[in-house]
Chains A and B, each alone.
Chain A
Amino acid sequence: MIQRAIFICMVMILLGTFVHGQQSLVLSIKPMMGKEELILGKAYIDARGDTMNIETLRFYLSNFMFYSKGKSVWQEKNSYHLVEGDDSAKRSIALRIPPKIKYDAMGFTWGVDSTANVSGAMGGDLDPTKGMYWTWQNGYINTKIEGTCSSSTVAKGSFQMHLGGYAYPFRADQHLLFSLGEGNTLQIKIQLEQFFEQIDWVKQNRIMSPSNDAVQLSEALSKTIQVKQ
């Protein structure tokens, strides 16, 4: 009898938590090279004629917030998502928004906000074992892009961009806002080719710490982001 009561309790709690009236909004994250979706390890020739090969692409999207007529109506709790360029499952984010919530705009952060950067050890996608935390100093790496480029002047034409920084004057997280219509899927496209066009490969092939370059490139990257329904 007690076992049955436990079972019923558990089922009710689970139903209440997970099923009761959730609408899901699925975000597909699409890093693009021109009109093609990026494939890691594939050689691309960009608009400047450089041969590009992206080996690593990882970044955080966080603090998803929804608005109606300029007012915040819903925000995801503990909203930190590590997007992995080489894993299609990690290029998708499902947000569970209560159905009564109506919205006309969505905001999110490219990167990790300063609060999470000063709050000690965190779990989930923010766990330091994910390889996105600097260890010689504080802070999350918001964006990691590594690969080779025929224009990069360093050994073997390789480049490493670890863009991050949470404190003034090198705060690199970017806040973005997009207006939305109805629908339960969204595409977030990152036009990497446009981003690469803005890089001075001679000077900017190694960025490994919070700096003016990191802030400038983070802004440039975030400006290539488009949201499509």
Chain B
Amino acid sequence: MKKKQIIFLGFLGLTAIAFKGKGEKDIERPKHFPEPTYSFQNNPMSVDKIYLGRVLFYDPILSRNNTIACSNCHSPYNAFTHVDHALSHGIEDREGKRNSPALMNLAWQPYFMWDGAINHLDMQSLFPITHPDEMGETIENVVMKLKEKRAYRNLFLKAYGDSSITGERLLKAFSSFMVQLVSANSKYDSVMRKTSIFASQEKRGYDLFKTHCNACHTEPLFTNYRFESNGLSLDPVLKDIGRAGISQNPKDSFLFKIPTLRNIEFSYPYMHDGRFKKLKEVLNHYNKDFGKGKYGSVNKPIQLSSEEQVDLMAFLLTLSDRAFLFNQDYAYPREFLKEGK
């Protein structure tokens, strides 16, 4: 009997190894990027879990009145932000007070929201789900609504091995999808991979970028993930004090997370409150006005000539990653949301 037990346990072990390998999926890890910071060891990725996260991302069931999905304010063709909306609106046309951030390379991002309120990607989704001006729902109720749907029970079964639906599983499925959103195939990236070269104007723009912008919008992620003053005056209606609202430290007043510049061509409008519609306006701000206002704490205006500004703009456009924007692996899961329920 003992021998049989050993054989059986060995068989069990082999099955476990075989099963573990099935459907596993890592994220794209570009060679010119640093190591990602997301805690993959606590949330092993699989094709099924990623698919579950993707379906949830596009399903308005997450909102209180089933009208708003994550994708409403994070649309894939706009680098997962809300095109043409300075401030995003949630259920019942309620308007928030900040511009929805573009979503990409989240596995490298140490904290989330313009003020860094959230310290882990897993917990990020709780904010929009529960905010009264966004989805106005509770995580408890989302879990209850999902449990009532057989199609979702099946997706959880595939993703986790049994059909139980919990807050932890829901949040980790979201993360599994969101860390897949890797943008590393722009012209800039191909230059870094030495499969392409910059045009002379782009090269001049790159040199200007390294001199004037790279300290905050640091390559290759185009942010150093710190909080800085963007030098903008306080909007008297929104009264957004930025990081200080979370840290409760007056020194952090009017500091906001430095956003990535990747896909900047598509992620308009710009700044934490979306006050600039065009990239040119942003450039004007940093070129002339930056540092002059009461709230500018960093440096001084970059003062580029109009030719230099055009060069810099040419470089910024090399950060557009069309393979990312039109990646069908991230797209609306029509087959599930139209037919699956």
Give the interface of A toward B (CB within 8 A): 2, 5-6, 8-9, 12, 117-123, 126-131, 133, 135-138, 170, 210-211
Q: Are B167 and A138 in contact (CB under 8 A)?
A: no
Q: Are B127 and A136 in contact (CB under 8 A)?
A: yes
Q: Are B120 and A8 in contact (CB under 8 A)?
A: no
Chain B at the A interface: mostly helix, strand, loop or mixed? Answer: helix
Given contacts A127-B168, A128-B139, A128-B168, contact A138 B5 (CB under 8 A): no
In this assembly, does B148 line the interface, its C-beta being within 8 Å of a C-beta of chain A?
A: no
Q: Are A129 and B166 in contact (CB under 8 A)?
A: yes
In this assembly, does B323 line the interface, its C-beta being within 8 Å of a C-beta of chain A?
A: no
Nearest A residue (CB) for B167: A129
In angstroms, Cα B120 to Cα A10, docked, is 38
Given contacts A120-B39, A121-B123, A135-B127, contact A129 B117 (CB under 8 A): no
Hey, which chain B residues are within 8 Å of A170, CB to CB?
248
Beyond the given pairs A118-B120, A120-B42, 11 more chain A to chain B contacts, judged by CB atoms under 8 angstroms and listed by A's residue number, are A5-B5, A9-B5, A119-B120, A121-B122, A121-B175, A127-B166, A127-B167, A130-B167, A133-B126, A135-B131, A137-B118
Hey, which chain B residues are within 8 Å of A138, CB to CB?
117-120, 123
Q: Are B168 and A122 in contact (CB under 8 A)?
A: yes
Q: Are B139 and A129 in contact (CB under 8 A)?
A: yes
Interface string of B106-148 (1 = CB under 8 A from A): 0000000000011111110011011100000001100100000
In this assembly, does B217 line the interface, its C-beta being within 8 Å of a C-beta of chain A?
A: no
In this assembly, does B9 line the interface, its C-beta being within 8 Å of a C-beta of chain A?
A: yes
- Select which of B1, B12, B143, B172 is within 8 A of A121 by beta carbon: B172
The size class of the interface chain B forms with chain A is 20 to 34
Given contacts A121-B123, A123-B166, contact A128 B117 (CB under 8 A): no
Question: Could you tell me the distance in whole angstroms from the C-beta of B249 to the nearest C-beta in chain A?
Answer: 9
Nearest B residue (CB) for A124: B168
Q: Are A135 and B39 in contact (CB under 8 A)?
A: no
In this assembly, does B246 line the interface, its C-beta being within 8 Å of a C-beta of chain A?
A: yes
Hey, which chain B residues are within 8 Å of A133, CB to CB?
123, 126
Q: Are B171 and A128 in contact (CB under 8 A)?
A: yes
List B326-340 residues whose CB lies under 8 Å from chain A. none
Hey, which chain B residues are within 8 Å of A120, CB to CB?
39, 42-43, 120-123, 171-172, 175
In this assembly, does B8 line the interface, its C-beta being within 8 Å of a C-beta of chain A?
A: yes
Q: Are A135 and B126 in contact (CB under 8 A)?
A: yes
Question: 10 closest A-B pairs (Cβ-Cβ)?
Answer: A120-B122, A129-B167, A121-B122, A121-B171, A135-B130, A123-B168, A135-B126, A120-B120, A128-B167, A137-B117
